[in-house]
Amino acid sequence: MKRIFAIVAIFGILMLIIAAPSARAQPAGGILILSVKGPVTPIMVSYIQRGITRAETGHAEALIIELDTPGGQVDLTRTIIQSIINAEVPVVVYVYPPGGFAASAGTFITLAAHVAAMAPQTSIGAASPIDAQGGDINETLRAKLENILVADMENLAERRGEKAVQWATDAIREAKAANAKTALELGVIDIIARDINDLLAQLDGRTVEIGGEMQTLHTIGVPVENLPMTFAEQLLAVILRPEIAFILLAIGPLAIIYELANPGGYVGGIVGVICLMVGLYAVGQLPVNYAGVGLLALAIVLFTVDVFAPTHGALTALGVVSLVMGGLLMFNQNELGYQISVVPIIATAATLGLFFFFVVGKAVSTLKMNPSTGAERLIGMRGVAKTAIAPRGMVLADGTRWQAVSADETTIAKGEPVEIIAVQGLTVTVKRKSEQGRE
């Protein structure tokens, strides 16, 4: 246990070191570029906020956010929008690369920018609220969410004209989407740019309002810096995907149970503790349906009980079913704007079920077997009295002569079969054995 705690502590310290932000200086008056991809998560929020702070402290000419997202949580999206609106530097949201999109929550983030741009062959829109499986939600809740989101969208699109406002509300109520050309014609975006160089050329001389004051952008010939995610941010961005969080929560407790069933290696316990800690962190950051958590806990109980049950296999099958249902329900929150993949959930449940059925079950059955090495293996073995045992003498067992003592202190004649019932040092305790025993 001490080894486990030590390794977990070292792991935590390394994560803190890795998470420490870079101390590089931002070129004064330059352009700072962030690359934002994937669902909206707390890590994306912190990354964007870190970029805005870096741009402000470095007096950057502008901050460009390259955006490619399927959407995400409403509350996190609002945090990003507030950060962009209140930024002290111009923020440009650029839907990039070609083939990318700013769907759902990405539409709100794009419209919140001081300048909105898209690359050719990108799309924007489809901002209707959906559940975690990508399906519709009940009408009452849908109406509430739509009215709130429409009000937010109207506020963001108001300065872009009536066509933009109408399209933005339709993107919520009717899940409308638009390509870059259509979005530009409607006034939803300001620029279509092939790449960053084309974007910088079109931004130069453009006027934006920052804090109630008009500011002219100068983006040609200024230093350009890319601010990537730190290693810790990249790692946490992966961990905070619902599928990964589910896998960690499923593997963690079961690895610990395996360690308890087959002690001595420490690897299973260490892996289990780390997976469980990281999985719990992910759950704390994501919207969770606790019915799914309950089914996950039930699956772990079923796996554990089945290992020690006489009818090994039946409860494991039920555990697999419970694990799949728990994974599907755990992150089934209406404010999620992206679809949870079912494949890794089913694959994880099936793999863990097979693992427990064969590996853990074998480990437990091995523990129940009689020892095959050491003095303990002699217990229950049949031997022959080489001398009279009254109450001490010699027996022959396992091809070796042993000092022997009679269990009930009665005399055992020379040549009588005996059974070893205890071992203490080089002396065995025996009793008469009239029936067949094992040699």
State the Cα torsion 89-90-91-93 to the nearest 10°. -170
Structure tokens at 236: 């946490």
Cβ atoms of residues 260 and 287 within 8 Å: no
Q: Dump strand ranges (E) for 6-120.
A: 31-37, 62-68, 91-95, 101-103, 115-118
Structure tokens at 363: 């480990």
Q: Which of 83, 123, 128, 144 is catalytic?
A: 144
Residue 215: strand, helix, or coil: strand
- DSSP bridge partners of 225: 32
Name the residue type at position 411: T
- Does 144 qualify as catalytic in the annotation? yes
Give the separation between CA 395 and CA 403, rounded to whole angstroms. 7
Query: Measuring CA to CA, how many Å separate 306 from each of 356, 360, 364?
Result: 9, 10, 11
Structure tokens at 212: 């109630």
**Is cis: bond before 253, omega within 30 of 0?**
no
Give the separation between CA 197 and CA 145, rounded to whole angstroms. 39
**What's the count of helices (H) and strands (E) in the chain, helices before strands?**
15, 16
Residue 401: strand, helix, or coil: strand
Q: Which of 2, 46, 104, 368 is catalytic?
A: 104
- Does 433 qualify as catalytic in the annotation? no
**What is the bridge-based pairing of β-strands 31-37 and 224-226?**
parallel
Residue 171: strand, helix, or coil: helix
Q: Which residues are catalytic, by number?
A: 104, 144
